[in-house]
Structure 1
Amino acid sequence: MAKARQLGWKSKLVHSAAKAPDGFSSLITPVYRGSTTLFKDAASVGDTWRQDEAAYTYGLYGTPTTLELAARIAELEGATHTFLAPGGQAALALVNLAFLGPGDHVLIPESIYGPHRLVGEGLLRKFGIEVEYYDPLIGEGIAGLLRDNTRVIWCESPGSVTMEVQDLPAIARAAGGRDITIAIDNTYSAGVMFDAFRHGAHVTLQALTKYLGGHSDILMGSISVRDEARYARIGEMHQMLGMAVSPDDCSLVLRGLQTLGVRLERLEASCLTIAKWLEQRPEIARVLHPALPSSPGHATWKRDFTGSASVFSIVFKDGYAEKDLLGFIDALTLFRIGYSWGGVTSLAVPYFHVQRQHRAYGSRLVRLNIGLEEVEDLLADLEHALETLPKAL
């Protein structure tokens, strides 16, 4: 019998027999990186995104780290399947491309996330898809906008910047019995303060960049579904677009999930305190926070939501110029200037001339995100900045 050949040292670098001992147990999900997935034999080789059929075929479709995160999001949202995408905007584009084709009609609330409007104008129209924007407070009135070629109704509740809370059950009733997918950007609720599936959605989406990540250090999106047909449509498009996510980033979202409950409680309490304080300020005409009775769609929020979050907008009174409000933001010290929300740091961003036919606020709108700083410190920061505004109006 021939003596087994000893591998050369360069081969041992690739094919090592050395292994760590078994028995390690940790509270933390391991980070599994990998593009190539190994099969047990040649007959098992196959390229499928369906993890329910073959758990691992290629790193593009997930590692144990990414699939655990997807499963945990599905569990929280009451979905059967969740897909991950490189960002919230990528997730929005994926859903649109999965359910829309040339000649189809899509309804999008005018209060949609700004980059989603870019997808509608710059991508969907290019592919011959009819894009129509509607009043987010339309409710059952959306029946009047439905066409034979309507294939998707988008919702975002509360809406971006102007914070309208949509009556999703009414919209679902109006679209009932038709071949229409109702998709909702449910980022504001972190997937836990509003049960989108129970209220009529077929597809839910989150920017995990926000509350689930929680620390302003990752970009990721999720798409969750319940029914097999839509699972297949999204999975096939996910594969074709190659929307892989980093297992390292997934590990950060898994970390964020552990503190999501306590963060949301603290953010809600701080945000409400500040929003109510701002309602009493003479410089402010209106506070757009869903938990306040004066905010559009408040009754629907009270009926359907179990809590509120950290982001809201303030409308300044007539008479202030754009430069005055820019000066107000620049005078803030704890509130940093930057997009996104849901992290630990308070933020302020101007939103002048937001595209709205309904409830337009001109150059008077500033959006705030409340972080984990002490409420008293944030109130003092806001008071100081408000006092820099011109007094005679």
Structure 2
Amino acid sequence: MPKLSDRTRLIAGATRRGRGRRPVNPPIERASTMLSDDPAAMQDPGDGPVYGLDGTSAARELRTALADLEGASEAFLVPSGLAAVTVPLTALLRPGDEVLTTEAVYGPTRRFLTRHMADRGVAASFHPAGASVEAVMDQMHERTRVLLIEAPGSLTFEMMDVPALAAACRKRGVLTVMDNTWAAGLAFRPLAHGVDVSVQALTKYAGGHSDLLMGGVAAQAPEIVRAINNVIEDMGWHVSPDDAWLALRGLRTLPLRYEAQARTALQVAEWLQDQPEVANVLYPPLPGSVGHSLWRRDFDGAASLMGVVMKGGGKAAAHAFMRELSLFGMGYSWGGFESLITYETPQLAYRQHAPDLPGQLLRLHIGLEDPADLIADLTRGLAAWRAQQDSNLQPSA
């Protein structure tokens, strides 16, 4: 059989033959206790899950589909996207080790490193967002055990040369973990580019409907798989059968939603870039945007998440923009069917080398709405931005 495309493979897993009469989707089995017919088989995993924590049909099928998508020997499920990052770091780091990551790292990941891991003797250091491979490697020393990669980086969307970083780290004996949520396991496959562990928030695109929390961890090397499995087993991490079923359902349509939202996102980004109130659009697929050449070289698609840098303004103007919108929900997360907006300038204060932006930073997630309707909504938001700016220029009575 010829190699199948992603969109075909993610569906073919549901229709494969040789299992007798069955539903297209696996059953939702809500169970903690699993019964055996033979006392000698009670602890035999070959006879099925021994206990509910081992995962029932939906979770097992989801793990198989994720491993296939990521090109991994094993994929694991954890209760959130943050847990997908923290589990491999816990598995691979020991007291006295150091983890190096970008200053643009996801905020809760930064908190985990500087609070939980620091309390347990693991140091964290941060390289400038978008640093060259040489600059990143120069910041490592004998204690550096793991490089945590984000490409693009959170909020400001800097790209990294991931294949070169992975190769350089492998020569040095440093392990690599990549938060691949933006690419959703579709647009970029970290393991195929030499990364040791790929993680993503299945809450986002895999779920696709803003109704579940879940993370995925994928790896290839047996010793890394074993270390991750041990942490999940020891910590008792588990996802509910209902959530696993929902994520598996979302995975079947992931390529179509991902591609459609990316098309709309590029239309919106191109329009925004031409608006006089906008200084810059931070979206790697947009020609001239940050990291465009690396994105074009390494990625096969794009998420619909972007940063919008305004020309000047303050919090009041940003809030006026956001309040005027009716199609963009004000809420965190992304990857669902709905468009969202957040105000992100305050988060940049955590960075030692904060980017020199000419104005306020907003983050947009573009959903499945009609692009013309979204652009009309943003037009009204920009008008509210201008009105707030004009009111600030009026002389006081």
Would the aligned equivalents of 1:346 and 1:372 in 2 still touch at CA under 8 Å? yes
Cα separation, 1, equivalents of 2:47 and 2:356: 51
- Counterpart for residue 167 of structure 1: 161
Scaled by the length of structure 2, what TM-score is found? 0.89
Deviations 1:96-151 (A, max 9, x none): 11011110010011111111011111101110111001123223222212211211
Q: Give runs of aligned pairs for residues 48-59 of structure 1, distance below 5 A.
A: 55-59=48-52
Amino acid at match of 1:25: R
Secondary structure in structure 1 of the residue aligned to 2:153 = coil
Cα separation, 2, equivalents of 1:359 and 1:300: 19
Cα separation, 2, equivalents of 1:210 and 1:99: 25
Cα separation, 1, equivalents of 2:23 and 2:232: 32
Amino acid at match of 2:30: R
Runs of 4+ in 1 over 6 A off after TM superposition: none
Deviations 1:242-290 (A, max 9, x none): 1010010011011111211211121011000000000000000000001
State which of 92, 104, 129 in structure 1 corresponds to 2:97.
Answer: 104
- Counterpart for residue 293 of structure 2: 299
Secondary structure in structure 1 of the residue aligned to 2:34 = coil
Matched, 1:257 2:235: no
Cα separation, 1, equivalents of 2:186 and 2:255: 10
- Counterpart for residue 76 of structure 1: 69
Cα separation, 1, equivalents of 2:104 and 2:59: 31
Amino acid at match of 2:80: G
Moved more, 278-287 or 362-371: 362-371
Cα separation, 1, equivalents of 2:252 and 2:192: 25
Deviations 1:182-233 (A, max 9, x none): 0001011110100211212100001000000000000000000001000100
- Counterpart for residue 34 of structure 1: 31
State which of 307, 332, 335 in structure 2 corresponds to 1:339.
Answer: 332
Cα separation, 2, equivalents of 1:381 and 1:81: 43
Cα separation, 1, equivalents of 2:152 and 2:133: 17
Q: Percent identity?
A: 40
State which of 190, 198, 205 in structure 1 corresponds to 2:192.
Answer: 198
- Counterpart for residue 3 of structure 1: none
Secondary structure in structure 1 of the residue aligned to 2:171 = coil
Larger radius of gyration: 1
Cα separation, 1, equivalents of 2:167 and 2:86: 25
- Counterpart for residue 46 of structure 1: 43
User: Are residues 302 and 358 of structure 1, via their aligned partners in 2, closer, same or farther at CA, if it must alter by over 3 Å?
Assistant: farther
Matched, 1:25 2:22: yes
Cα separation, 2, equivalents of 1:140 and 1:283: 34
Scaled by the length of structure 1, what TM-score is found? 0.90
Would the aligned equivalents of 2:186 and 2:255 in 1 still touch at CA under 8 Å? no
Matched, 1:235 2:229: yes
Secondary structure in structure 2 of the residue aligned to 1:285 = strand
Amino acid at match of 1:209: T
Moved more, 162-171 or 29-38: 29-38
Cα separation, 2, equivalents of 1:39 and 1:147: 52
Cα separation, 2, equivalents of 1:349 and 1:362: 18
Q: Give runs of aligned pairs for residues 1-393 of structure 1, distance below 5 A.
A: 25-46=22-43, 55-141=48-134, 142-318=136-312, 320-353=313-346, 354=348, 355-356=350-351, 357-361=353-357, 364-390=360-386, 392=390
Would the aligned equivalents of 1:274 and 1:379 in 2 still touch at CA under 8 Å? yes
Secondary structure in structure 1 of the residue aligned to 2:182 = helix
Amino acid at match of 1:291: P
Would the aligned equivalents of 1:164 and 1:295 in 2 still touch at CA under 8 Å? no
Return 5+ residue gaps in structure 2 as ranges.
Answer: 1-19
Cα separation, 2, equivalents of 1:167 and 1:70: 28
Return 5+ residue gaps in structure 1 as ranges.
Answer: 1-22
Cα separation, 2, equivalents of 1:323 and 1:298: 31
Would the aligned equivalents of 1:287 and 1:294 in 2 still touch at CA under 8 Å? no
Amino acid at match of 1:202: D
Moved more, 291-300 or 243-252: 291-300
Cα separation, 1, equivalents of 2:357 and 2:94: 35
Amino acid at match of 2:380: H
Aligned residue pairs total 367
Moved more, 285-294 or 168-177: 168-177
Cα separation, 1, equivalents of 2:288 and 2:48: 50
What is the deviation of 1:156?
1.0
Cα separation, 2, equivalents of 1:105 and 1:267: 38
Moved more, 27-36 or 104-113: 27-36
Secondary structure in structure 1 of the residue aligned to 2:189 = coil
Secondary structure in structure 1 of the residue aligned to 2:253 = helix
Would the aligned equivalents of 1:136 and 1:164 in 2 still touch at CA under 8 Å? yes
